[in-house]
């Protein structure tokens, strides 16, 4: 970390470049920027935080940082779950909260342009007011930003039917490490011009530059929605119902796997609460035309009951259904209150391999003697084994590390991937080569070196 006098000098320079309202260097202001939502990783207080009000200010700050070789960590809302915006090397945190304007929603073209710091839920409301629909729905949507979603290629329950952020991004404006500004992609729904730098930025986790503006495509808002709850006797049966539904061609908009313990927590919000008689639950939303929703509900009911599910409940009351989804989005914060420390894993497996993955996690939990809850966006195979620390002893840490390693290995063995949505950050960097292989990792490092030759953008992330 810089000394007080160098920090003061840095502050002065940054004020000259971005304005006094945008720059913070007092320790009490910097404290909140030392980590993301994973407070268990190595924290580090940056030397300065800058909240630029436009692209020009962001560009000036990056050009300065590049010249002086100062590390820069982009930050949206800090809701990440992989340590991505932790400023491990100190330097400047470049925070997009003031780049928060929706620049335009084009109904005729079904697209929108937004600044990177727009909060996702605000954007959902704005497009839905116009009868349009932006599906990506990470469960942190009340705080997370569009820029953060692009940088982590975020997804959520609706990914099963609609895909993730990467499927909607048409273009980005980004400031590169040396301060130059690029406009990648466009507002057209198709484009074939050179390398696809737009999608190079999706999932780049702040290591290639700062995204300042995003263009996305929109869909018509579905006219009908129905929530369904399938009560299953065992996790294995629930996993079979998931692959059965997908194979039957009824693709729900959301398909969440909820174990009994999680449902008991969610019951503090669900109204009226659900009698928790099954070991595993599937919470779904069907959407589309009225006829299609009714047809899918019928397919779901007969298929789930044929596989031995205890009950299939179609929730008719919209207000009651809304409490299920509110409870689902609050689940992670509620889990955090239950344990001394919580690590949420993020492995995705092919959907027909979910039963094996569920059994493997139970085996790992039993063998190591630690609590691992298992929920997730089962419809797209993205499972979140969640390690609950009963104490903070070194022994517990070792067991958790061993469990993470075994879970990741099992996911890969089943043809899966080490992260479905949270990204790599600090949390998964040691496993990156397991999935990508040496040659692909080398190719990525060359891209990084070409765009950021001094390595100032978010150092320490993806690979160490
Ligand atoms: C309760 C809870 C539920 C969650 N549920 C989900 C979920 O369902 N699905 C999901 O995908 N994630 C989920 N997350 C994780 C997190 O919310 C997402 O990763 C989200 O996309 C992060 O957005 P952010 O604005 O908070 O980014 P940050 O956490 O601030 O940053 C994340 C990464 O993106 C980089 N970054 C941020 N903004 C920019 C930018 N403008 N330009 C370049 N790089 C940038 C940062 O450097 C960092 O590497 C959840 C988190 C919490 C706490």
370: CATH = 3.30.70.2740
Closest CA to 171 of 215, 134, 219: 215
Query: Is 179's pLDDT higher than 80?
Result: yes
Any atom of ligand 1 within 6 Å of the Cβ of 156: yes
Any atom of ligand 1 within 6 Å of the Cβ of 87: no
Q: What is the pLDDT of residue 201?
A: 98
- Pair 429, 464: CB distance under 8 Å: yes
Query: Is 214's pLDDT higher than 90?
Result: yes
280-288/72-75 β-pairing? unpaired
pLDDT in tens, 269-283: 999 999 878 889 999
Residue nearest (by alpha carbon) to ligand 1 atom 50: 140
Distance separating alpha carbons of residues 86 and 460, to the nearest angstrom:
9
In angstroms, the Cα distances linking 69 to 13, 44, 72, 448 are: 14, 18, 9, 16
Closest CA to 141 of 170, 121, 167: 121
Residue nearest (by alpha carbon) to ligand 1 atom 11: 154
Mark whether 200 and 247 lie in a shared domain.
no
Report the SS3 class of residue 400: helix
Mark whether 90 and 8 lie in a shared domain.
yes
Percent with pLDDT over 90 in the chain: 87
Of 132-136, 195-199, 234-238, 287-291, which gets the smallest average pLDDT? 234-238
Mark whether 234 and 130 lie in a shared domain.
no
Any atom of ligand 1 within 6 Å of the Cβ of 386: no
Higher pLDDT, 246 or 190: 190
pLDDT in tens, 311-348: 999 999 999 999 999 999 899 889 988 899 999 999 99
- Pair 297, 290: CB distance under 8 Å: no
Any atom of ligand 1 within 6 Å of the Cβ of 145: yes
Give residue for tokens 């397991």: 434
Mark whether 309 and 348 lie in a shared domain.
no
Mark whether 89 and 162 lie in a shared domain.
no
* Cα of 133 from ligand 1 centre, angstroms: 21
Residue nearest (by alpha carbon) to ligand 1 atom 23: 148
- Pair 10, 24: CB distance under 8 Å: no
pLDDT in tens, 21-37: 999 999 999 999 999 99
* Cα of 246 from ligand 1 centre, angstroms: 28
* Structural domain harbouring 77: 4-95
Q: What is the pLDDT of residue 352?
A: 85
- Name the pLDDT band for 1 (thresholds 50, 70, 90): low
Q: What is the pLDDT of residue 76?
A: 98
The predicted model gives 385-398 an average pLDDT of: 95
Any atom of ligand 1 within 6 Å of the Cβ of 154: yes
Of 77-91, 195-209, 243-257, 314-328, which gets the smallest average pLDDT? 243-257
The predicted model gives 415-434 an average pLDDT of: 95
Domain count, the chain: 4
The predicted model gives 374-398 an average pLDDT of: 93
Distance separating alpha carbons of residues 85 and 421, to the nearest angstrom:
15
User: What is the chain's Cα-based Rg?
Assistant: 22
Mark whether 204 and 126 lie in a shared domain.
yes
């Amino acid at each position: 970390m810089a000394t007080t006098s160098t920090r003061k000098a840095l502050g002065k320079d940054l004020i000259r470049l971005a304005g006094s309202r945008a720059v913070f260097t007092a320790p009490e202001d910097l404290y909140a920027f030392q980590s993301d939502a994973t407070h268990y990783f190595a924290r580090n207080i940056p030397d300065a935080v800058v909240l630029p009000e436009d692209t020009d200010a962001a560009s000036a700050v990056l050009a300065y940082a590049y010249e002086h070789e100062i590390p820069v960590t982009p930050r949206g809302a800090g809701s990440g779950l992989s340590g991505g915006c932790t400023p491990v090397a100190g330097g400047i945190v470049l925070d997009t909260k003031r780049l928060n304007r929706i620049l335009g929603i084009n109904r005729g073209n079904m697209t929108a342009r937004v600044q990177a710091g727009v909060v996702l839920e605000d954007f959902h409301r704005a497009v839905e007011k116009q009868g349009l629909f932006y599906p990506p729905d990470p469960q942190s949507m009340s705080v997370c930003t569009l820029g953060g979603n692009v940088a982590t290629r975020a997804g959520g329950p609706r990914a099963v039917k609609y895909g993730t952020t990467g499927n909607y991004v048409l273009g980005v404006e980004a400031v590169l490490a040396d301060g130059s500004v690029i406009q990648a992609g466009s507002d057209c729904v198709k484009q074939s011009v050179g390398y696809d730098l737009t999608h190079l930025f999706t999932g780049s986790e702040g290591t290639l530059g700062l995204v300042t503006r995003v263009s996305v495509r929109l869909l018509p808002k579905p006219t009908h929605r129905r929530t369904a709850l399938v009560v299953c006797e065992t996790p294995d049966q629930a996993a079979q119902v998931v692959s059965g539904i997908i194979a039957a061609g009824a693709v729900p908009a959301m398909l969440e796997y909820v174990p009994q313990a999680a449902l008991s927590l969610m019951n503090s919000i669900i109204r009226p609460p659900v009698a928790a008689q099954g070991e595993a639950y599937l919470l779904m939303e069907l959407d589309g035309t009225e006829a299609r929703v009714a047809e899918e509900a019928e397919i779901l009911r007969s298929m789930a009951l044929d596989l031995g599910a205890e009950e299939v409940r179609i929730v008719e009351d919209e207000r009651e259904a809304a409490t299920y989804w509110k409870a689902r989005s609050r689940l992670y914060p509620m889990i955090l209150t239950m344990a001394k420390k919580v690590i949420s894993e993020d492995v995705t497996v092919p959907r027909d391999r979910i039963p094996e993955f569920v059994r493997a996690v139970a085996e790992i939990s039993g063998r190591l003697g630690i609590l691992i809850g298992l929920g997730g966006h089962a419809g797209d195979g993205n499972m979140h084994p969640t390690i609950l620390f009963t104490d903070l002893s070194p022994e517990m840490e070792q067991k958790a590390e061993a469990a993470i390693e075994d879970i990741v290995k099992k996911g890969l063995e089943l043809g899966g991937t080490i992260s479905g949505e949270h990204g790599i950050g600090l949390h998964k960097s040691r496993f990156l080569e397991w999935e990508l292989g040496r040659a692909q990792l080398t190719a990525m490092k060359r891209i990084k070196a070409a765009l950021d030759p001094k390595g100032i953008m978010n150092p320490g992330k993806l690979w160490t």
